[in-house]
Amino acid sequence: MTGDARAFWLAAPGRGEIRPVTVATPGPDEVLVRTLYSGVSRGTETLVFRGGVPQSQQAAMRAPFQEGDFPAPVKYGYLNVGVVEQGPAELLGRTVFALYPHQTRYVVPADAVTVVPDGVPASRAVLAGTVETAVNALWDAAPLVGDRIAVVGAGMVGASVAAVLARFPGARVQLVDANPERATLAAALGVDFALPAAATGDCDLVVHASATSAGLTRALELLAPEATVVELSWYGDREVSVPLGEFFHSRRLVVKSSQVGGIAPARRGRRSYADRLAIALDLLADPIFDALLTGESPFAELPAVMPRLTSGELPALCHLISYPTGE
């Protein structure tokens, strides 16, 4: 055995705790990683924390290295950056990203980690999983040069999409959110901002990520005839009401789902999950993504931080968790 580590577990809906774990000695095709940072993806992880994963989606919602089952007890998370302490020579000492929960040290197959490019700080690299979602969404959306695009919902996923689109040639990109304070975020990303009522319509494409019925309704209202909403929201156990009896049919609108668990059909067979994640990490060389890192707490405080993130008392996009050196 390599030794002891500590991991964050959801003991029961609404209550987390840090538990000791024993980490096995890595095999010949495995790596031992010491965590530097993990990230709390506020939308998905707070839904899990409150016990909101529907029974029908519990298998689909499993994280790659999850332990336990929904609703609890469960060890859940998927934004982890650390240093390889044991493993193949080409990985030894390298900073890597893995879809691993919040844990001080862990062992995974060597092919489950992706080397973080030299120009990407370890703290920013925790965003790789969310930027990967944005990459997949834009493979699904297939925007064109000069498109008029709205991103409805300025949370972690919506902001990641807007950050990628901010560099898209000739596009008019507007980030739409009910919180006027998100205007500062939009400015940092280099895109326009609007409150829902003031958003510019006649859009060729709308990406929806607010996880609300009101947001999806507004996304449909912003479309030009025969245009498409790409739906990225995860609603969990909440019902969604959408006005499909009004202008939906007469304007021949489209609602298209996108989910990071599968490669977008437009790239399936030509790009792998590893390719997609590598693209996300390359994009993170741009410091504009630092605008998505909105707070930081030490690992020991995570049981107290998660309820505050879930209630909204602690506002956040991606909340960084830092780990003590030497653990």
Asked if pLDDT for residue 327 goes beyond 70, the answer is no
CA distance 102 to 36: 10
Residue 304 is assigned to a structural domain of this protein:
yes
Region 281-287: what's the mean pLDDT?
97
Q: What is the pLDDT of residues 181-223, one digit of tens each?
A: 999 999 999 999 999 999 999 999 999 999 999 999 999 999 9
Confidence category of residue 112, pLDDT binned at 50, 70, 90: very high
**What is the 3-state secondary structure of 265-276?**
CCCECCECHHHH
Residues 208 and 110 in one domain: no
Q: Please state the domain count of the chain.
A: 2
Phi, psi (degrees; rounded to nearest 5) at 247: -90, 0
Residues 41 and 28 in one domain: yes
Residues 98 and 191 in one domain: no
Residues 103 and 137 in one domain: no
Residue 273 is assigned to a structural domain of this protein:
no
Residue 278 is assigned to a structural domain of this protein:
no
**Closest CA relative to residue 207, chosen from 138, 266, 276:** 138
Residue span of the structural domain in which 184 resides = 130-257
Q: What is the pLDDT of residues 19-38, one digit of tens each?
A: 999 999 999 999 999 999 99
Residues 122 and 7 in one domain: yes
- Which of 238, 257, 276 terminates a domain? The answer is 257
Residue 64 is assigned to a structural domain of this protein:
yes
Residue 29 is assigned to a structural domain of this protein:
yes
**Mean pLDDT for the chain?**
94
Residues 109 and 79 in one domain: yes
CA distance 34 to 83: 5
Q: Say which CATH number the domain at 169 has.
A: 3.40.50.720
Report which DSSP code applies to 103. Answer: B
Asked if pLDDT for residue 169 goes beyond 70, the answer is yes
Residues 10 and 91 in one domain: yes
Region 214-234: what's the mean pLDDT?
95
Q: What are the CA-CA distances from residue 239 to residues 196, 210, 213 (Å)?
A: 21, 14, 8
Q: Say which CATH number the domain at 78 has.
A: 3.90.180.10
Region 90-109: what's the mean pLDDT?
98
Region 58-62: what's the mean pLDDT?
87
Q: Is 249 exposed, middle or buried (0-12, 13-18, 19+ CB in 10 A)?
A: exposed
Residues 98 and 41 in one domain: yes
Residues 108 and 172 in one domain: no
Region 54-78: what's the mean pLDDT?
92
Residue 194 is assigned to a structural domain of this protein:
yes
